[in-house]
Each structure stands twice: as structure tokens, then as C-alpha cells.
Amino acid sequence: MTQQPIRIVIAGGGTAGWMTAAAMSRTLGRTAHVTLVESDMIGTVGVGESTIPPLVNYLRLLNIPEPDFMRATHATFKLGIQFDNWRVPGESYFHSFGGTGKDHWTAGFQHFWMEGKARGHDVSYDEYCTELVAARESRFAHLPDGRLNYAFQLDATAFARFLRGIAEGEGTQRVEGKIAHVEMDGESGDVAALTLESGTRIEGDLFIDCTGFRALIMGQALHIGYDDWTHWLPCDSAIAVQTSSVRPAVPYTRAMAHDAGWQWRIPLQHRVGNGIVYCSRYLDHDAAEERLLGNIEGETTTKTNRLRFVTGARRKQWHRNCVAIGLSSGFMEPLESTSIHLIQRAIMRVIRMLPAGRVSERDEAEFNAQQMQDMEQIRDFLILHYKATDRRDSAFWRHCASMEIPDSLAHKIALFRETGRVFRTNEELFVENSWIQVMMGQGIMPQSHHPVAGKLSDRELEHLLRGLRETVAKTVGSLPAHADYVAKYCGAQ
């Protein structure tokens, strides 16, 4: 006997809602009936424009041609993030995608690089990473076998619109209107239906809360609490503004620290996204806006958009027949562009754990444990940027440098400082090279390295290091200018 299609109701049509609708309707086909409710009156958060490489997989899984996506979202390629003023004002480093050098099974490349340093080689660690050098020189092309790892910088509003087209094409039903009431089933305790202000009632089997910071179902109706992480990540405010482009788009995002937080710059094909992230205890909102507008290039093309947030995670992201995806599930500042990725991971997990009838409590527990682990690992990585700093020039940075940090992060830092080692466990998003680049960029240098690197003679070590550098230089030298490549790839020329 064939089962009735599962009725999936998505509340909210921002990036989270439409990414979910597109993925579910395209993947599940006739087995699901997807409805999405959104309110034009409320609108979306309208930010979220810098991404990380797994988004490439989202497009592939959904059979979305990359040039179509890039044209529709005015996207550029992204090879990493340039961090300015984080360790000390005036200094910069890159956290790029991809690996650096070549690891040996006994020890990562950093150990061989450090052995070289000890023997007088003074070439920067950066020169051994193709993505990093390509970003710095603003070059890009697709290389075979994923030899250049990339993500995108995109227009958030256009992205949601593009996904809406896909979702509706696959049968997602869009309902416009404001949700006024979440109706519970008195017997089971499940969510039974959403009632709109118009009186329309939408029943479902599975509800996805994508209502953003409001968390209408998970927070307001189901009263699932929220872990506040502001004592580790003290920024609580942001102001965003868009500007015209004044130069060809570079394939990287900039994160420029200031005395109470940082500022982003995200270059798209047709404009630049800018924003300031700050801690309102140390910088008031008007002063933050003034600072942002004083440090942008080009003309502003939008009004400033002020946002407040509480960094943290919803204690349960799946409860009974409701799953929170997107800002309703928690929020960490966009320092490493991880929110859209968490949306993608949650979508893939829900699809894998789609209930065949009633929700299994074991699925629910498994989902919550996996999501929370992802969030805690990302949280630690973000805290690293604030904690490991030599800045003492403002009360904000003095606070960050002296704050307590989670034991998991303290261990990771101490291990790297003592031994040069870093381990990726439990499918952590950020790989060893990410931790190494950021730890060294923030001034943490290992006191020792693996003895195996000492096995190489001076000639062998020189040969290894030079060979790797030359391969990077040759690869990058063969790449076209990023902006030219984007224009050609998207067929704009």
C-alpha cells in the first residue's frame, strides 16, 4: 500500500525557508506535499551573503547549474576571508579554503614548514596554499578534481527568490499571510496547524520553523529555551548597508576588526555588501553607524539596516513534529560565514531522518545531538578569533583576551601551542588547515613540531618546500583574473 504524502509546512520564507522548500520538494517529489507560508509585511533579515564551500554541494545535490545560480544571485566566487587588525591593528592574515602544502600521514605539513623555519627558511606558510595565493592575487578558475576549493558571495534576497522559483516549479505551494496562531493537538502535544490572520488554517504532519529570530513555533509556541553564549561571543548588534562597486570584485570576504567588534565587506558582481558587528556595551548604535559609513567605499545604495541578536543555540532544534532551521535555531555572528551552512546541514539531516509515520524520539535526539555538536564546534572556532589576540587597545579587546573559554577550545589551543598538532574529530566543519591558519594568524606559534620532519636532509627539505611553492605559483599563475572569469562564466560578456 502506498503511503499518503507527508504534509510538510514551512513557516517563513527567508534563506532558510526557501532553501528547505527547494531541497525538500526536489528531493522528495510525490512523497511529500510542501507548503511554505511567508509574510510580505514582515519581510526577511536581508543579510547573509558570504558562504563556505559546502554550498557547492547543495547546488549539485539539487541539480542547479552553477552559472544559472550565479547569474540570478549576482554571485562572485570566494576563496577565503582576509582578517585585518585581529591580532594587532595594521596586520592581516588569510583564512582560506583548501589545504596548505602536503601532509604526510605521520604529521601535517605545518611540521615540515616549522622544521624549515628552524633551519633558516623564511618563506611564509601562506605561499604553500593555492586558494590563499589565488585570493590574494584575485584570480580564479574551476580546476579539475576540486583542486581549488571555493564558495560564493551572493545577494541574499535574490538567492531566496531564485530558490522560490525552483521550489514552486517542484510543486511547493506558497501561501502569503501572517501566522497569527500555532494550534496544538491537545492529545499528542504535536503542532496541528498554523492559522493565519486571514483565518486560513494550514494543517501538517511536520512543521519547519524558519521564522527567523522570532522563532514563532519553536520558541513562542513550544517554549524551547535558548542557550545564551554572549559571555564567549559578546557582540550583540549589527548594521548592514549596501554600496556600489568601485573596483573589480575580489574572490574573498574581508573581516576588519575595530575597537569593539569588526566590519565585513562582501563584493558581489553588481554591488558590495557591508556591515558592522559590535558589542553595544562598548559602542553605541549611532557611533557604530557613523563608523560603518566612514569606512565604506562607493555610494550607499540602501538605507542602513540595524539588527540585534543574542548569540547562542536553541536547546532543542527538533521537538515533537517541529524542526527549527535558520535563525530560529540559534545564531552566531557571521565571522566565518557559517549560518547558511548550518541551514544546509539541518535540511540534509531532516531529509535523512524523515519520519515514516510518527516522529521517532530517537531520531529527534540524534538530530539534536548532531546539530548541537556542529554549533559548539563552530562556536569554539569563532571564540578563537577573539581570545587569541595581542590587542589590548580597548576595553572590548581587554575583555576578550581575559575571558574564560570552553575547555574544548582551551585544550585545542594548548595542544597546538605545545606540539603543533591539531585534530579534526566527529566530521568537524573546520579542517586542520583552518585551525592552523587562524591560530597562527592570531599569533599562536607552536613551541615544537613532530620529530619526523627532522629526518629530511637539508637538500630534501629544500627540495620539498621549493617544489610545493613552485606548484602553487604555477597553478595560480595560470588562472585568469577573478572578475573576468565571473563575467565569462555567467555569460555577461
At 10, list the grid cell: 514551512
Least distance between ligand FAD and beta carbon 11 (Å)? 6
What's the full length of the chain, in residues? 493
Instruction: Verify binding: residue 234, ligand FAD, rule CB under 6 A.
Output: no
Among 116, 212, 267, 312, binds ligand FAD (CB under 6 A): 212
Among 154, 215, 260, 340, binds ligand FAD (CB under 6 A): 340
- Sheet strand arrangement including 330-331: 226-228, 312-314, 330-331
Least distance between ligand FAD and beta carbon 185 (Å)? 20
- Tell me if 196 sits within 8 A of 179, measured CB to CB: yes
Least distance between ligand FAD and beta carbon 220 (Å)? 9
User: From CA 252, how far away is CA 274, in angstroms rounded?
Assistant: 13
At 344, list the grid cell: 544546509
The residues in 353-412 that bind ligand FAD, with binding defined as CB under 6 A, are: none
Question: Which helix (H) or strand (E) covers residue 28, if one does?
Answer: helix 15-28
Binding characters for ligand FAD, 10-29, by CB under 6 A (x = yes): --xxxxxx------------
User: From CA 295, how far away is CA 276, in angstroms rounded?
Assistant: 10
Directed axis angle between helix 15-28 and helix 339-352, to 10°?
30
Instruction: Verify binding: residue 205, ligand FAD, rule CB under 6 A.
Output: no
Least distance between ligand FAD and beta carbon 350 (Å)? 14
User: From CA 81, how far away is CA 341, in angstroms rounded?
Assistant: 16
User: From CA 105, how far away is CA 168, in angstroms rounded?
Assistant: 48
Least distance between ligand FAD and beta carbon 51 (Å)? 6
How many residues bind ligand FAD (CB under 6 A)? The answer is 39
Instruction: Verify binding: residue 334, ligand FAD, rule CB under 6 A.
Output: yes
Instruction: Verify binding: residue 210, ligand FAD, rule CB under 6 A.
Output: yes
Is the CB of 62 or the CB of 143 nearer to ligand FAD? Answer: 62
Question: Which helix (H) or strand (E) covers residue 349, if one does?
Answer: helix 339-352
Among 44, 172, 344, 434, binds ligand FAD (CB under 6 A): 44
Look up cell 535563525; give the residue: 327
Among 42, 59, 256, 481, binds ligand FAD (CB under 6 A): 42
The residues in 443-482 that bind ligand FAD, with binding defined as CB under 6 A, are: none
The residues in 151-190 that bind ligand FAD, with binding defined as CB under 6 A, are: 156, 178-179
Least distance between ligand FAD and beta carbon 42 (Å)? 4
- Tell me if 39 sits within 8 A of 175, measured CB to CB: no
Stretch that binds ligand FAD, among 34-42, 314-322, 440-448, 467-475 (CB under 6 A): 34-42
User: From CA 165, how far away is CA 69, in angstroms rounded?
Assistant: 11
Among 50, 172, 243, 434, binds ligand FAD (CB under 6 A): 50
Least distance between ligand FAD and beta carbon 90 (Å)? 25
At 364, list the grid cell: 529527534
Is the CB of 266 or the CB of 476 nearer to ligand FAD? Answer: 266
Instruction: Verify binding: residue 275, ligand FAD, rule CB under 6 A.
Output: yes
Instruction: Verify binding: residue 73, ligand FAD, rule CB under 6 A.
Output: no
Concatenating the DSSP letter of every residue in 377-394 gives HHHHHHHHHHHS----SS
Assign 3-class secondary structure to 103-168. CCCCCCHHHHHHHHHHCCCCCCHHHHCHHHHHHHCCECCCCHHHCCCCEEECCHHHHHHHHHHHHH
- Contact residues: ligand FAD, CB under 6 A: 12-17, 37-39, 42-45, 47-51, 156, 178-179, 210-212, 214, 216, 238, 240, 275, 307, 309, 326-328, 334, 337, 339-340, 343
